[in-house]
Structure formats: structure tokens, C-alpha cells
């Protein structure tokens, strides 16, 4: 019973998520580029710090400029960061990309959830969030499975190139919808 805009957003989220494998591949990449266990933990802490500091400002920006603009910008930023991971050759490059990955996460995490609230009537919001989280959960397993195959067959850069490509596809699909959408009245 959800409108077509909500279903289209779920499709875009599914495609994006298929290219967003587990962050364990970033850990493996960091180790492949020479990071120690301690160095990897520091990178994770920096990622979380960046996300924590920027989540609220990006949430405010989402309220001002709109969810679609922020999600599209965030997914494009993700694509650039994933290209950075793919092209990295040193631990420090991976560390810089991982910090920037926190920016992507801060841009999109709250905006996608707010978009669900925008596109679903109040009595169906819980179900809408269930569909969002179910879609992400269902796509997470094949995303990581594909990333593992890509890593094994074509090397550590392959899953990151794949993730960047799917982020670009999800952006193109979301751009198709952006102009035609409206906020559902509560």
C-alpha cells in the first residue's frame, strides 16, 4: 500500500546496498596496505569520530536543502571514497579514505531514515522503517558475498570499484525520482 515513490527509493537503496559490502573489506584492505591491528583500530576510531561530529550538522542540512540532495551528494561522495579505496596503495591513503567514509555515513544515515518518514503516512512509518531495514539487511549478504568473490578473483580493488559503480547507478535512479516526489502528509 506504499506509494510508488517509496518503492522506488527502496529500489535505489537496494542497489546502493548491493555495492556496500561489510566494512571488514576495508579492514582487509588496510591490512593489505600495511596497517597493524592497532593502526586499524585507530582508523575505526577516526571514522566513528568523524561520523559523530558531522551527523547532527548534516541532519540540519537535510532539513534545509532536502533529503534527496543530501543523499545524492552522499552517495556520490561514497563513490569517490570507494574509488579512493580501490586506487590506494599505502596505509595512509586507506586511513584518509576511511576518515572520509565517516563523512559519507554522516551525510546519508539520518537523511535516508528521514526520507522514509517523508514518504510514508504516519500510521505506516513503522512498517516503512521495517521495509527500509529489511531491504538493507537482505542486500547485505549478497553484497559481501559478491565483494568476497570480486576480491578473490580480481584483487582487493575490485569490490571497491564495484561499490562505486553501484553507487553511481543508485544516484542516477534516485535523480529520476527526485523531481517527481512529494512529502506525504501526516
pLDDT digits over 92-150, tens only?
999 999 999 999 999 999 999 999 999 999 999 999 999 999 999 999 999 999 999 99
pLDDT mean over 8-16: 97
User: Cβ distance 29 to 21 under 8 Å?
Assistant: no
pLDDT digits over 142-182, tens only?
999 999 999 999 999 999 999 999 999 999 999 987 654 44
Question: pLDDT averaged over the chain?
Answer: 93
pTM of the model: 0.92
Which whole-number Å values give the CA distances from 74 to 56, 109, 145, 152, 162, in the listed order?
15, 9, 24, 28, 17
Amino acid at each position: 500500500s506504499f506509494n510508488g515513490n517509496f518503492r522506488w527509493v527502496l529500489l535505489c537503496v537496494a542497489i546502493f546496498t548491493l555495492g556496500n559490502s561489510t566494512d571488514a573489506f576495508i579492514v582487509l584492505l588496510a591490512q593489505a596496505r600495511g596497517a597493524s591491528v592497532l593502526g586499524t583500530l585507530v582508523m575505526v576510531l577516526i571514522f566513528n569520530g568523524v561520523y559523530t561530529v558531522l551527523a547532527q550538522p548534516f541532519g540540519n542540512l537535510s532539513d534545509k536543502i532536502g533529503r534527496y540532495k543530501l543523499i545524492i551528494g552522499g552517495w556520490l561522495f561514497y563513490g569517490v571514497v570507494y574509488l579512493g579505496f580501490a586506487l590506494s596503495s599505502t596505509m595512509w591513503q586507506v586511513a584518509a579514505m576511511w576518515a572520509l567514509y565517516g563523512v559519507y555515513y554522516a551525510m546519508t544515515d539520518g537523511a535516508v531514515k528521514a526520507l522514509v518518514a517523508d514518504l510514508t503516512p504516519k500510521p505506516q512509518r513503522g512498517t516503512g522503517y521495517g521495509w527500509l531495514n529489511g531491504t538493507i539487511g537482505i542486500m547485505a549478504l549478497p553484497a559481501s558475498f559478491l565483494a568476497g568473490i570480486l576480491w578473490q578473483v580480481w584483487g582487493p580493488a575490485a569490490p571497491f570499484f564495484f561499490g562505486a559503480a553501484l553507487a553511481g547507478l543508485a544516484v542516477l535512479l534516485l535523480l529520476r525520482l527526485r523531481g517527481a516526489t512529494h512529502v506525504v502528509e501526516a
